[in-house]
Every structure is written in structure tokens, then in C-alpha cells.
Amino acid sequence: MKLNNVVIRHLKKDKKNKDFIKSASRYKPIFIKPTASPHPRCNKTKVKASQTRILNRGQIIQKTLNGDGIYNKADRSKCSVGFWARSNKNENLNYLVTAGYCYDWRFNTTIQNFYHYPWNFNESLDSLRFLGKMAKPDNIGKYDFGLINITGRNVGQSPVINNIDSETYVELIIESNNIITSHGTHLCKSGLTTHVTCGYVRGLGAVGVHKDGVTEDNFIFYGKDSFETSCEGDSGGPAFSYLQSLLKVNLIGIHISHLKDFSASLPLDIILREGELELVKVSG
């Protein structure tokens, strides 16, 4: 992608991919094996105390920051909070946006309750704070995002991204939401597992094809050659770029998938359009 070539990213062991590569061999493709080092949290390596900071219990209860974890008690899966949004038709309807596949189709909607799962959480799951249920799950599918309905409840939602590992800017304020149009742009994400990591835009308008043949498009691919920028549990977290003040950021979308040194983000404009939403942000 750095050379503006057509790039196909695939898993080596998948038979369909092998058949495709064999068929395309006459075009003399260049094979590149990723050399990125795994993020220490991706392979569940214990993080030293000096590498992280933990909020006291009072702070945890009061706030749900974008990038914090979400726990689905039905299937015991974890994702991340993306951002706070309202319906653009009824400002009284409030949602937390996350990845669509945080909703598990194997279970009935009525038993899929989503809870706030703070960074570095090590207490009983019974102490998790209820956020809400997935709104309109039947609409999930075309694009990978979901809406947790928090209407009528104060769950500590705010236009703030968790960056608690930083000594200087522990909370990042969402001030704008401009669209990325250039390769090489610096892009970061905040998520439950790897926290805040950054890389560079490698592809715009990317297309993803799942094993079942379902195709999704308009991804932003980003990453870094040297290490993984995301892994399981980060999906749904906010993707953003820093503004001139490192305290404030421009929201780009949400993180939705990863493959070694590549991460993928679903652009914010698609989420707002398809979900009929408006972003809640800090202005001025």
C-alpha cells in the first residue's frame, strides 16, 4: 500500500486463499510476510505495574470512557466502547456505539445485557455496572457497528477517550470529526486490551471478505510495521487522530478488526449516516 499498489491481505492457512494465490501466480505477485512483534497484551502477557495506572473505585463507578471495555454476559465476550451518540431524529435517544459483532446472534436479545468493564479490572464480574441492551440488532450486518441503548440512564457517558496510561493526558477530549483522506496519516485507537496505540493509514476504501463470502467495504486500514496495534477485546473502541493540542482529538471512527500488523477502522461518517446518529462532542 505504501507504493499505491493493489494489496490483498489474507490468512496463509485458508484453502480458498491458497487456491486464489495459485490462480493469481501468473501475475507474479510479491509475497510479504508480516514481521510485526505481538503486543504484550495480545498474547495475555502480564503487564508490569509500572506500565499501567489504575483508576480508584470512585472514578470507575462515575465514568464510562470511550475505549473502556464492554462485557456481554450472555457469551462472556469483551469489546470496547466507541463513542456516545444521539439519534438525529430524537435527541432524547442516547447510545454507546461499539462493534456490531459484540452482539451474539446465538442468543436472544432479552438475555444479552452489556456491562461496563474498566481497564485493568480484577474484581468479581457481579460488580460490573449495567450499561444497556443492543438497540435494533436486526439492522446490524451491512456495517459492523452496534448501538447499546442507554436512553433514560446516566451511565457516566462522555465525549472523552480513556488514555490513563499517559502521565500527561489521561483523558482525551473529542472535539471534531473530520474525514481522513490521505495515506500516511497518523491514526490511533483506544481499546480494552492494548489501550492507546498508534500507527499510520495504509489504505482507504478497503474491502474485507469473510469466510462465509460476506463482503464489507470502505474500511480504513492502519498499523505499524514494528508491532501489533490491536487485538481481541479492542473492537468497537474509538479510532482518532490528535489535534494540535494533544489533549484534544478528531474522531475518525471505531476499530473493528485486526490481522497481525494491520488494523481496520470503520469510518465515522458511515456510522452516523447508517445509524441516523449525531456525535456528542465537546465544542469550542
Summarize pLDDT for 107-130 with one digit per residue, the tens: 887 889 999 999 988 888 889 999
* pLDDT digits 0-9 by tens, 145-201: 999 999 999 999 999 999 999 999 999 999 999 998 888 899 999 999 999 999 999
Q: Take residue 101 and report the three cell numbers written for it.
A: 459483532
Domains of the chain: 63-156 (2.40.10.10), 160-279 (2.40.10.10)
**Amino acid code (one letter) for 181:** T
pLDDT at 65 over 80: yes
User: The whole model's pTM is what?
Assistant: 0.80
DSSP conformation letters of the chain? -TTS-------TT-HHHHHHHHHHGGG-PPP----PBPPTTTTTPPPPGGG-----HHHHHH-EEET-EEEETTTTEEEE--EEEEESS-TT-EEEEE-GGGS-TTS-GGG-EEEEE-TT--S-GGGPEEEEEEE-GGGTTSSS-EEEE-TT----EEEEEE-TT-SS-SEEEEEE-PPP-STT-EEEEEETTTEEEEEEEEEEEEEEE-TTS-EEEEEEEEE-SSB----TT-TT-EEEEE-SSTTEEEEEEEEEEEETTEEEEEEHHHHHHHHTEEE-----
48/52 Cα distance (integer angstroms)? 7
